[in-house]
Structure 1
Amino acid sequence: MTTAPTRPSSTAAHSRPRLHEDVAETPTARRVKHVHRLGALTVAAVLAVFGLLGFVGGLDYFSTDGGQVAGLSSNGLLSTVSLLTAAVLVAGAAKGGRVAGIVMTGVGTAFLLSAFWHLFVLNTQLNVLAFAMANVVFSIVVGLLLLTLGLYGRVSGNLPEDNPYRANLEAGLQPPQEEPDLPARTPQERMAEAAIREAEIAVAEHRATAAQLAGVEAMRGERTKTGRRRIWMELTTH
């Protein structure tokens, strides 16, 4: 009589655990988080001051000519955008870890795209943020700074051993380790193999029971005999 599984259960995944930089407490991990957080807050402070000075100066909201604020051209809309961007950076800094790096990388990319776009629309009606050439240079500088800070500790050919991004990279590059494909060595394992063969034949001939179908389905992603026996025996013990 074939012993068939009564209910499927989840099996343990053979994957290497990843070290997340938001929970890692190594010296390098702490330094990476501090750089991300302080970098985001510093740039946010500069943008917030620029935005507030624009509002204090009473600039026209949609003027394409703009007014002078700290050596840059600005209008009410650019002041609003600056304050909103500062708020996004502060939120990323408050979250810290990977989020702060991702936020700075995204905002830095937006600054660079904005700079290149405004090179083409200077002195036109499409210049809704009242950019001048000084603003373009400022956007490029800030964009590169944010990208550098956001990618700090994440992109390097010589990451320290305790860098959490290195641990994530190595874990992602290594394929999951499979169980060794060993022959059946115990009576229980031989019985499990016989039951597996019978269940697979029954499935192929469309006469399998619901329990046999469930067992074969549970083994579908397992390629080694050792793993298939383990899954079947785990199922039949419940």
Structure 2
Amino acid sequence: MAHIPVNHPLRPLYRTLSGLIGLYILVFGIIGAIQTAGDPLFDRGDTWVLGLRTNLAFAILSIIYGAVLLAGAVIGGNVEHIVNLGAGLVFIVVGLFMMTVMQTDANILNFSMVNSIVSFIFGLLVLTAGLYDKVGSDEDVKAEERYRHHAQPAPTSARGE
């Protein structure tokens, strides 16, 4: 069974990081929706916003996705933990899928290679945040300490005895 740390000391840093990513995606979506208003939903045009290519469908999805990620960071706790784990996986899967269909008519979100790379980077960062932002009770912290002490190898002497 995998071990996910509880009450990691860098939890505030990971929360801030996932919140900033959520804010970027939300702002990207809002600006993208404004710039692509009136275009067909799945347009394959050449609209770029904040360094990423977009269309109206991708802008709308980004608004929703960014709001969920930002809300998870604001709420915090284990809600943020679950949101970050799920969002990180979605970023990676969508980036990979859209990279495979980039030069086809299935590129309904108008992705470019830059979009896929950013999706992978955001996915890894948010997934990492999800792995380290789990919150637990005092009892969970004590169990964590017991786990850490049990998992450490016994010290050996300097002479190898």
- Global fold match (TM > 0.5): yes
Percent of aligned pairs with the same amino acid? 32
Aligned residues of 1:111 and 1:140 also touching (Cα < 8 A): yes
Going from structure 1 to structure 2, the CA distance change for 1:117 and 1:29 (only over 3 Å counts) comes to: closer
Q: Which residue of 2 aligns with 1:101?
A: 81
Q: Which residue of 2 aligns with 1:144?
A: 124
Deviations, residues 97-116 of structure 1 (Å, cap 9, x unaligned): 12201111110100000111
Aligned residues of 1:36 and 1:100 also touching (Cα < 8 A): no
TM-score (norm 1): 0.51
Going from structure 1 to structure 2, the CA distance change for 1:166 and 1:150 (only over 3 Å counts) comes to: farther
More helix by share: 2
Residue from 33, 51, 69 that aligns with 2:29: 51
Shift of 1:87: 1.4
- Look at both structures and tell me which one has the larger radius of gyration over its CA atoms: 1
Deviations, residues 164-191 of structure 1 (Å, cap 9, x unaligned): 46736969xxxxxxxxxxxxxxxxxxxx
C-alpha RMSD of the superposition: 2.7
Shift of 1:76: 0.6
Going from structure 1 to structure 2, the CA distance change for 1:165 and 1:108 (only over 3 Å counts) comes to: farther
Q: Which residue of 2 aligns with 1:167?
A: 143
Residue from 104, 113, 116 that aligns with 2:93: 113
Following the alignment from structure 2 to structure 1, what is the Cα–Cα distance between the partners of residues 139 and 76?
A: 16
3-state SS of 1:127 partner: coil
Aligned residues of 2:55 and 2:109 also touching (Cα < 8 A): yes
Q: Which residue of 1 aligns with 2:54?
A: 74
Going from structure 1 to structure 2, the CA distance change for 1:170 and 1:109 (only over 3 Å counts) comes to: farther
Shift of 1:31: 4.7
Following the alignment from structure 2 to structure 1, what is the Cα–Cα distance between the partners of residues 32 and 18?
A: 21
Following the alignment from structure 1 to structure 2, what is the Cα–Cα distance between the partners of residues 124 and 165?
A: 50
Q: Gapped runs of 5+ residues in structure 1? A: 1-20, 22-27, 155-161, 172-238
Going from structure 1 to structure 2, the CA distance change for 1:42 and 1:166 (only over 3 Å counts) comes to: farther
Q: Which residue of 1 aligns with 2:115?
A: 135
Aligned residues of 2:89 and 2:127 also touching (Cα < 8 A): yes
Going from structure 1 to structure 2, the CA distance change for 1:46 and 1:86 (only over 3 Å counts) comes to: same
Relative contact order higher in (CA < 8 Å, ≥ 6 apart): 2
Aligned residues of 1:51 and 1:78 also touching (Cα < 8 A): yes
Following the alignment from structure 1 to structure 2, what is the Cα–Cα distance between the partners of residues 93 and 48?
A: 13
Give every structure 1 segment of 4 or more consecutive aligned residues whose post-TM-superposition deviation is greater than 3 Å: 28-31, 162-166, 168-171
Following the alignment from structure 2 to structure 1, what is the Cα–Cα distance between the partners of residues 123 and 90?
A: 7
Following the alignment from structure 1 to structure 2, what is the Cα–Cα distance between the partners of residues 99 and 168?
A: 20
